[in-house]
Structure 1
Amino acid sequence: MQSILNTALPFFALIFCGYGAGRLNLLTTTAAAGVNTFVFYFALPAFLFSLMSSSPIAEVLNVPFIGAYVCASLAVFGLAAAGGKLLFGVGRGEAAVQGLAAVLPNTGYMGIPLAVAVFGREAAVPLVVGLTLDGILLIPLGILLIESEKGRDAGPLRSALSTLPNLLRNPLIISIFAGLAASAAGVTTPTPVNNFLDLLGDTAGPCALFALGATLAGRSVAGGAAEISYMTALKLFVHPATLLLTTTVVFDVDPLWATAALLGAALPVAANVFIVARQYDTYVARASGAVLVSTAVSIVTVSALLLVLAPG
């Protein structure tokens, strides 16, 4: 118990520091955006490139894990979307946002720092693989459904291709694939470059957690308690339970990868869900509320999960 408190309390305390700075106006909206920019364009890409370039390509292309992750994510996405239409009478676009909220975890800002703190650097690899699959499969699927409801359905292929420019410009995706390419080519980065990447990448965790708190300070819960609770429950309970099933029963996944994936699935709703909702002006208030509420509830649920998963 004490070891969990030693890890979890400082972790969530950093989020509260950022939240307090935002609520007290010590960190303006512009300043918070600057911290997010540093994390998104510099610190996290440096960490991800260093991690993936030092990971054997055969280890990263873990077929059982990819199968388990994709099956669990698609199953929960479909369940969330169908359940949303049945329970709340929402349209296809709103149901798609509910599906994204149920399966997209806050990997970059919470999952990677927490996995490294509890299980070590190697535990971040499955989370990064999951982050990549989210970006190239689940987000395009959600956008496809949203666009089809808005009358902009130009066919699955064109809709999927419409997300390609954004993916190609995403620094996290770029750094992941650049690291994979370096690993596959057997490129060894010079010591000064390694030291630079380590120095920059080591700031990713603390800055990401602080930035997350500051970002949440600007969000609010404006009605829709039932729908927000629905998305929160799916993300924090149904998604990890489904992934536990696929990684331990359906597929034979390495125990460390299965454990890290379970921790990742138990994370709160990713900010990307709000970004997609705002971009397409669909379910914006509910998506924002789900990010805020799920993050608050995850303080308890993730800490409880760590009591089961953490070594010792």
Structure 2
Amino acid sequence: MSQPTAAGVPGAVPAEVPGPAVGTVPDTGTVRVPPGQKPRTGVWWRHALAVLALVWALFPVLFILSAALNPAGTLNSASPVPTAFSFDNFSDLFASQTFPFWSWFRNSLVVAGLGTVFQVFIGAAAAFAFSRLRWRGRRPGLMALLLSQMFPALLAFPALYLMFLKIGDVLPAIGLNTLWGLLLVYLGGAMGANVWLLKGYFDTIPKELDEAAKMDGASHARIFFTMTLRLVAPILATVGILAFVALWGEFLLASIFLLDQERRTLGVGLYSLNLADRNKYFGMFCAGALIASLPPVVVYLTLQKQLIGGLTQGSVK
């Protein structure tokens, strides 16, 4: 007598579930794409957002370019789409005796170039001391640098103005209304965020290299100049780029310290065009703004690999 096969009966043998036939593909719930047709990924909105962001970023550039090439050269005649092309605004800006454009350009190069070199050196020396040396007050010093960045720089402007006004009476070369005085103020703020960024990269360098160099008789200065600076070249380039761009576009301190027309930096000088007559000199202003944007772009394109490497490798230890 055969055993019953009904479910729920003790000793029953479960019936076999019929499986897919041989040669067929089981249904997994995915939608099949016909041959020759691309699958729909559903990410079209990402591309739309990217295009929208690109248009949003390029619209000011297009407007400035159109106004610089507009022969009318006024704010009223400026439009996003250029209707005519001419280099009259550039020639008028270069030939102007009232607005010495090339003097402003040279002053900005001097301040931004020298300021970048000294800021990188001061920041690297401080980061080496905080990272490699052990001395009393090391941690409180790092915390003090971090806390000092929380206070707005505008609070120090009145004190800096009065200080350099008095210094100019004793040392006119570094007083108020001088490029060297402005450069000293910029160097006073060289430490801070740069030191933390540099220290994070310095910590990634094995300390065994320093110990091996000390066993060979190398001093701290020799280790710093001949070995460490070469190993941290990416972060030095990163800090250099950030410092150059910041100094090149700095406006507030430069507008306070530099009063004479010949001694102004590029940003302050171009702003004086708007103060004179915003409608009349708008084309010249846009032409100068286009030329002023070239040095930062060249620096970024030249050192972009070092910029990415320095920011990523120095972020973790």
Fold in common (TM above 0.5): no
Q: Where is the helix percentage greater, Structure 1 or Structure 2?
A: 1
The TM-score, its normalising length taken from structure 1, stands at: 0.26
TM-score normalised according to structure 2 size: 0.25
Q: Which has the larger radius of gyration?
A: 2
Q: Larger RCO: Structure 1 or Structure 2 (Cα < 8 Å, ≥ 6 residues apart)?
A: 1
